[in-house]
Structure 1
Amino acid sequence: MQITLLRFILKSFVIIALVLLLSFFIFYFCIYSGFFGKIPSENELKSKQNSIASELYTADSVLIGRYYIQDRKNVRFEEISKHVISALVATEDARFYKHNGVDVRSLARVFFKTFLAGDEQSGGGSTLSQQLAKNLYPRQRQPFLSTPINKIKEMIIAQRIESIYSKKEVLELYLNTVPMGGNIYGIERASEVYFGKAAMGLKIEEAAVLVGMLKANTTYNPAYYPTRSLERRNFVIDQMVKYNYLDNSSADSIKNLPLKLNLKRRTVYAGIAPYFSEQLRLELVKWCQSQIKADGEPYNLYTDGLKIYTTIDSRIQREAEKAVKSQMSRLQYLFNQHWKGRNLWRNNGSVIQTAMQQSLRYKRLKEAGKSSQEIREIFNTPVKMTVFTWAGNKKRTTSPLDSIKYYQSLLNTGLLSIEPGTGYIRAWVGGINHQFFKYDHVLSRRQAGSTFKPVVYAAALEKGINPCRYFPNVRISYPQFENWSPQNSDNQYGGKYTMRGALSHSVNTVSTQILIRTGIKPAIALARRMGIESDIPEVPSIALGTAALSLFEMVKAYTTFSNSGKAIEPIYITSITDQKNMILLQRNHAVSHQAISPQNAAIMIDFLKGAVDEGSAVRLRTKYGLSMEIAGKTGTTQNQADGWFIGITPDLVTGVWVGAENPAVHFRTLEAGQGASTALPVWAHFMLNLSKKDDFAGYRSSRFDALPRDLQARLDCPPFVREEVKEEPPKKKESFFKRILKKGLNLFKKKKKNESNDI
């Protein structure tokens, strides 16, 4: 009886074991066959690549931006410190060099922890190859037995990985894929972020900190939890001793060292030229969509590790940003003093209301169904926030409404610098702080003021108007334009100006006369040829700069004058390469076309030099002491809402715009708010400091080409005269007989007169 029962139990056990074994093989076969999700083939694994950030470089090879979904930078095995490898193997997979991707000794432990206990967080049996498989192909939620299915899939993939790659290659792949806290991936970026160095330069204690993070990159993040990180670091050191990668005495010394970090956190555009980097991102995304890779898929800016080389010069860009920071902080102080004791919003209440309604906070509250009264109360309730100040970002408790008033009272700026001969953009500053002010003022459209006048004058020259023709400085009403009567900003009239004199002193009455004589349509047509694409209304007030144009357009147009009349399309990307340094895009030369004659371009440079040497921009000489030849034009719009200065040197064409986000916010007086007082100082400090650098010492004495003698003769006339200029026709030479006859007739008249007097 007992023997029969024993046989039954044994037979049942064997049957159950066979059923379980068969079930396992069926289960395994289903996973292997892709029933629970595709298993990558060896060919797919060979071509598998991490998502790699694309990088943006200046012309002098400085990294200024990275575009990514995962902030990652791949490195080769030889570029990783040996201490990282030792710490990794000792801590995560001591038998790494002895298995083929799956450590059989650990399977039993894995079985009990995961299959029976259902502990999804346990990973004690996972080899580095299995962890790599998990990093490359993140786990998917299954309808049942999710953990066992994912574990077996990782085992299959791990074995395939090790059949393709060497142990060094596996380690390289692994260390380039691991998440290292936040959006940081890979040992190289982790090393840069936490210790400010490349992975090759990591010390033992630093390597141990980073390897310690692999267990839980948030829990053991040294930036947030230094105590936990230190404990985990010391555990890794102990593991290195246990597996003979480190001796006890060295380990004891290292474990006594404090945790030292050199955090180098950076946002996508943490370096120079953030506005330029963002504008380029928008264009590059579109470009990538039109470029097809070998696999038939379009390039992805955020994952394909492209390298984009630009024309920006980091040295010029830094000086531009320094000039903006120093002068805009000074100008903001003057603006605040200018309005001190006065209510800036007394007549500008609509500015705040509009800004509030355009804010993201307001839109979200509206979407949530809040009433106007509720929204008003929320905007008047103080909350903690970080605000921009010129003394650094500050944490404050203030109401959202007050923060809007504060930001609306800040002046902003744009600066663009182009090398005229090549069309290369060398500096691009779109605002005072990209973190708080996203709007790019290189591209924003504002009234151009008197900076548009040179386009009108160039059109006049192209039509054949004599540059020495005199125009009266008087107010004129134009019946054909509803009796519009432009006036000068200083309300000074009288005398007559040549074109050079009128442009130098920005005389509105003369500029309007020149436009009327030239024709509005021809002036607009020239603006188009010079690269201005924005809408320009067909009205005479464009002579005074009422058209809303961008700084980009205006600086591009001014390069025409310094480029012998050729309008040039600016270049900001010279080449794009893929991960293997294959060239995908190459741009060596800018596209150009003749917009005005070389002679008229040279005359315009002479006109604009007058504005600097004796006109509205004379303080470049008198106050700032700039010695290089400069041709330029200031600009100021109605109510001093916008201040402009565009300056041309033989080496660079640079434009600066200054104003508030809303034109209703401005200086009250012309003296304080004109372009010569707001935009020109930024330009002056930029060029002054740039020319002091050894690399740009030649800028200090640069000269334009001398005017040919025939052009000098055409311009040989006073720029201004007080009395009326009479242009009498030359007298014809009389014949000999005619002179004798006239003399006799005069003597006869004189004799008759004397006889009459005697009577």
Structure 2
Amino acid sequence: MEKSPLVKKITIWLYGLFAAAVVSVFLLFFLISAGALGFMPSFEELENPHSNLATEVFAADEVLLGNFFQENRSRVEYEEISPNVINALVSTEDIRFYDHSGIDARGLARVLFRTILLQEESSGGGSTITQQLAKLLFHDPARSKWERGIQKLKEWVIAVKLERSYTKDEILGMYLNKAPFIYDAYGIKSAAATFFSTYPDSLTVEESAVLVGMLKNPSLFNPVRRPELTQGRRNVVLHQMMKARHLTRAEYDSLKQLPLGLEFKRSDHIGGLAPYFREYLRTTLTARQPVRENYASWQNQKFLEDSVEWNKNPLFGWVNKNLKADGSKYDIYRDGLKIYTTIDSELQLNAEKAVQMHLAEDLQPKFFKEKRGRTRAPFTQHITKEQYDQIINRAMQQTDRYRILRQKDMPEDSIRMVFNEPVPMQVFSYKGDIDTIMSPMDSIHYYKSFLRASLFSMDPHSGHVKAYVGGPSYKHFKYDMATMGKRQVGSTIKPFIYTLAMQEGLTPCDLVPNVPQTFYLPTGQTWTPRTSGNRREGEMVSLKWGLAQSNNNITAWIMKQYNPQAVVNILRSLGIKSPMDAVPALSLGAPDFGLSEMVAAYATYANKGVHSEPLFVTRIEDRYGNVISTFNPRRSEASMSTTPI
């Protein structure tokens, strides 16, 4: 029976509409692929997706000390990821992952029917792992439903290209390296370290289930703040693994009863091992070439020291001295470098504990006891009230609170009212931080009462720095006393002066008079240093005895035999860079030196007269493991010439 003209017409229209729809879909995807509807990555970008990788800082024994990052992301190869993670991920996020080519038709049909037609928001999404990777690699969050719709179509195109360019294992590895967690953890390696203090290849089934479960909504399924909710989500993942036959019913029933077992350790620049050292390393690597205009008027010495470091120390300003193959500078926050330092992690841990114990159990209690009840505490009673007020005011003006209020043009008297108003705050104590209510001004007085200490240890032969502690708590006392702080050296300068005597022909057994020594100054005045006590005063004593007793008479006698400039010369040859005047007061240690330069100077004796500059880094590798810089000890034989230099 021949079809009627109307039926033929309707049939032609239907076929035409279908063909137009097919052509429109192909045209739409062609336009998307060509980038006509917004940014689309090129094939080269798909082959080399860019990730912000954190720079890792390793101790000499390859213990990870910490990272420099904008996103705390460390790359890990697929082979270094536990199969438990892979099984948990595929079972939960994309059960047909190994069967589709980037787009799951069954999942897509479910979304079209249940989510779009039936408006069931809880029906689940249709995104495959490959589509999720596409979203992570190339898209910012959508700002509207229309933009999200276009974005979804782009993800399909990118997912297909990814499937053509990579193996399934490579796609899983890329996704796990890119996946965002919380607490500055990006990627499976950072997440494993942050939440379980382990490595991706060592994650257990239940740990893997926790991390994979978090991917649905890391803020919601937060194991630190919402352990019960996270445990429930973990058990959902375990159940999916059982359904996929990666677990037996008995294993599932056993594992779901286990606690989360967190070993939470957030990675940041404040906590962890060697924070003072890591900050020193960061500022040293990123230092710029010194320009006098960039320094304050009172920072002339700092400018001179930085200029010397720029010219002689390859680590100083490393990122500004070395270029990548494309001519751009390295970025320690994004380029995934690996920095291998000279620090011994075990010695570093013991050094930090030693500084804490020395202060918390010995010096600090004695200091508190001595200053209790004194009106000018923690300072000496010999300063005037005006001097005391100047110290406190200067401390107030150096705070962020003061700077912010000044930027708002708040009057000085109003600022003082703010500083005297009690507010909730957290303050330092050796037994742990204390939550309290205190005025900012009282907190300044409180922190001024804490003593500081630092520790610097190096191998005298190689110059390798083994331990570096800049203070009692980097979180609360960020000023680094190991390399930045300088203190009057006092009697610790005396061995250097006795070295001058030895190199000029005297011996430890030579006898000298133990009597006060008077110096005639260029001003016409005289200066006679005094010594504590009168033991053997007036007798002939050996130089050995004088050094052992730290006797000022004997040190002054040596100084008189030569000249102050000779002492300056010998100190310079031993690596002391701090400013000092060639005056008789050098014999009593009047100048201020830094701890690191004093340690290096003393190490010259253990190295038989060869001075080694402290060495902090042995090599730097790029993200692919290629060595791009090596660092060797800078040694020089200590010259004991008395000729001025």
Give the Cα separation in 1 of the matches to 2:524 and 2:23: 97
Aligned to 2:55: 54
Aligned residue number for residue 357 of structure 2: 326
Matching residue's letter, 1:322:
K
Amino acid aligned to 1:331: L
2:342 is aligned with what amino acid?
T
Matched, 1:416 2:456: yes
Within the candidate set 433, 441, 453, 2:494 is matched to 453
- 2:606 alignment partner in structure 1: 562
Look up the SS of the partner of 1:395 in the other structure: strand
Number of equivalences: 596
- In structure 1, the partner of 2:294 is none
AA aligned opposite 1:264:
K
Shift of residue 113 of structure 1?
A: 9.2
Moved more, 251-260 or 301-310: 251-260
Contact 2:457 2:468 in 1 (8 A): yes
> 1:595 — aligned with what?
639
Cα 1:531–1:256, aligned 2, differ >3 Å: closer, same or farther? closer
Matched, 1:267 2:268: yes
For the residue of structure 2 that corresponds to 1:212, the secondary structure is helix
Distance 2:418 2:450 in 1: 23
CA distance in 2 between partners of 1:113 and 1:377 (Å): 62
Look up the match of 1:540: 584
Aligned with 2:398 (options 358, 367, 378): 358
Given that 1:115 and 1:147 are in contact with CA atoms closer than 8 Å, whether structure 2 keeps it comes out as no
Change (3 A) 1:536 1:572: same
Name the SS of the counterpart of 2:453 in structure 1.
strand
Q: In the TM superposition, what is the alpha-carbon distance from 1:167 to its structure 2 partner?
A: 1.0
Counterpart of 1:381 in structure 2 is: 421
Q: Compare 233-242 and 520-529 and name the one that shifted more.
A: 233-242
**Secondary structure at the counterpart of residue 215 of structure 1:** coil
- Residue 469 of structure 1, CA deviation: 5.8
Alignment gaps of 5+ in structure 1: 601-759
Aligned AA (1:319): N
Secondary structure in 1 matching 2:98? helix
Q: Which moved more, 1:359-368 or 1:539-548?
A: 539-548
Q: Which residue of 1 aligns with 2:371?
A: 339
Q: 1:550 to 1:56 in 2, by over 3 A?
A: same
> 1:331-351, CA deviations, whole angstroms, 9 ceiling, x for partnerless residues?
111111112232234643322
Counterpart position of 1:33 = 34
CA deviation map 1:125-159 (0-9, x unaligned): 21100111122223266899422332222222211
1:404 aligns with 2:444: yes
Could you say which residue in structure 2 is the equivalent of 1:470? 512
Distance 2:526 2:436 in 1: 50
Q: Which whole-Å CA distance do the structure 2 matches of 1:28 and 1:435 have between them? A: 53
Displacement of 1:23 in angstroms is: 5.7
C-alpha contact 1:209 1:230 (8 A) present in aligned 2: yes
Shift in alpha-carbon separation, 1:533–1:477, aligned structure 2, 3 A:
closer
2:530 corresponds to which of 451, 472, 488:
488
Range that drifts further, 72-81 or 14-23: 14-23
Out of 311, 314, 323, the residue aligned to residue 292 of structure 1 is 323
Q: CA deviation at 1:233?
A: 2.4
Q: Aligned partners of 1:120 and 1:182: how far apart in 2?
A: 29
Structure 1 residues 128 and 538: CA distance shift in structure 2, 3 A: same
Task: Determine the C-alpha separation between the residues in 1 that align with 2:504 and 2:625.
Answer: 51
Pairing 1:693-712 to 2, within 5 Å after superposition: none
Q: Which amino acid aligns with 1:473?
A: V
Structure 1 letter corresponding to 2:486? R
The answer (yes or no) to whether the contact 2:85–2:212 under 8 Å persists in 1 is yes
Q: Could you give the per-residue CA deviations for residues 515-571 of structure 1, whole angstroms, max 9, x where no partner exists?
A: 344222232222222211121123332222222211111121222233222222222
Alpha-carbon distance in 2 for matches of 1:290, 1:487: 49
- Give 1:160-239 correspondences, 5 Å limit: 160-239=161-240
* Helix, strand or coil at the partner of 1:451: helix
Assess if the C-alpha contact under 8 Å between 1:56 and 1:66 holds in 2: yes
Show the counterpart of 1:645.
Answer: none
Match of 2:338 in 1: 307
Larger mean CA deviation between 213-222 and 473-482 belongs to: 473-482
Letter in 2 for 1:275: Y
- TM-score with structure 2 length normalisation? 0.82
- TM-score w.r.t. the length of structure 1 is 0.71
- Shift of the 120–140 alpha-carbon distance from structure 1 to 2, 3 Å rule, reads farther
% identical aligned pairs = 39
Determine if contact 1:77/1:171 at 8 Å carries over to the other structure.
yes
Does the CA contact (< 8 Å) of 2:114 and 2:120 recur in 1? yes
Conservation of the 8 A alpha-carbon contact between 2:72 and 2:185? yes
Distance 1:127 1:392, change over 3 A: same
Q: Give me the whole-angstrom Cα distance separating, in 1, the residues matched to 2:144 and 2:501.
A: 78
Deviation, 1:198, is 3.2
Q: Is the 8 A contact 1:100 1:162 kept in 2?
A: yes
- Alpha carbons 2:341, 2:617 under 8 Å: kept: yes
| Aligned-partner SS, 1:182 | coil
Which consecutive unaligned segments of at least 5 residues does structure 2 have?
A: 287-316
When residues 486 and 414 of structure 1 are mapped into structure 2, their CA distance, relative to the original with a 3 A threshold, is farther
Q: Deviations over 1:674-708 (max 9, x none)?
A: xxxxxxxxxxxxxxxxxxxxxxxxxxxxxxxxxxx
Pair 1:470–1:257, CA change in 2 (3 A): closer
Structure 2 distance, partners of 1:566, 1:121, is 73
Letter in 2 for 1:198: Y
Distance 1:296 1:34, change over 3 A: farther
* Change in 2 beyond 3 A, CA 1:385/1:143: closer
- SS of 2:454's partner is strand
Larger gyration radius, structure 1 or structure 2: 1
Distance 1:117 1:482 in 2: 102
Letter in 2 for 1:273: A
Asked if the contact 2:41/2:138 (under 8 Å) is kept, the reply is no
SS at match of 1:219: coil
Write the distance in 2 (CA, Å) between the matches of 1:108 and 1:586: 57
Aligned AA (1:573): V
For the Cα contact (< 8 Å) 1:413–1:432, is it kept in 2?
yes
Deviation readout 1:476-507 (Å, 9 max, x if unpaired): 25242452524325264942555444433333
**Aligned-partner Cα distance in 1 for 2:204–2:342:** 37
Distance 2:493 2:347 in 1: 26
Structure 1 position 270, deviation (Å): 3.7
Describe the SS at the equivalent of 2:581.
Answer: coil
How much does 1:163 deviate?
1.0
Deviates more, 1:112-121 or 1:441-450: 112-121
Local SS of the residue matching 2:452: strand
What is the distance in 1 between the residues matched to 2:79 and 2:142?
37
- Spell out, residue by residue over 1:265-302, the C-alpha distance to the aligned partner (whole angstroms, 9 max, x if none): 34346443222222122223432343333444433323
Give the Cα–Cα distance (whole angstroms) in 1 for the partners of residues 573 and 521 of structure 2. 30
Could you say what secondary structure the match of 1:480 adopts?
coil
Q: Give the distance between the partners of 2:12 and 2:143, measured in 1 at CA.
A: 35
Larger displacement relative to structure 2 (26-35 or 145-154): 26-35
State the superposition RMSD in angstroms: 3.5
- Report the equivalent of 1:425: 465
Aligned to 1:693: none
The alpha carbon displacement at 1:451 in A equals: 1.7
Taking the aligned partners of 2:523 and 2:515, their CA distance within structure 1 comes to 19
Shift of 1:413: 0.9
Query: How far apart are the structure 1 equivalents of 2:117 and 2:320?
Result: 48
Q: Which residue of 2 aligns with 1:531?
A: 575
Output the amino acid matched with 1:158.
A
CA distance, structure 2, for counterparts of residue 306 and residue 174 of structure 1: 21
CA distance, structure 2, for counterparts of residue 117 and residue 544 of structure 1: 88
**Contact 1:115–1:148 (CA<8 Å) still a contact in 2?**
no
User: Aligned partners of 1:118 and 1:560: how far apart in 2?
Assistant: 78
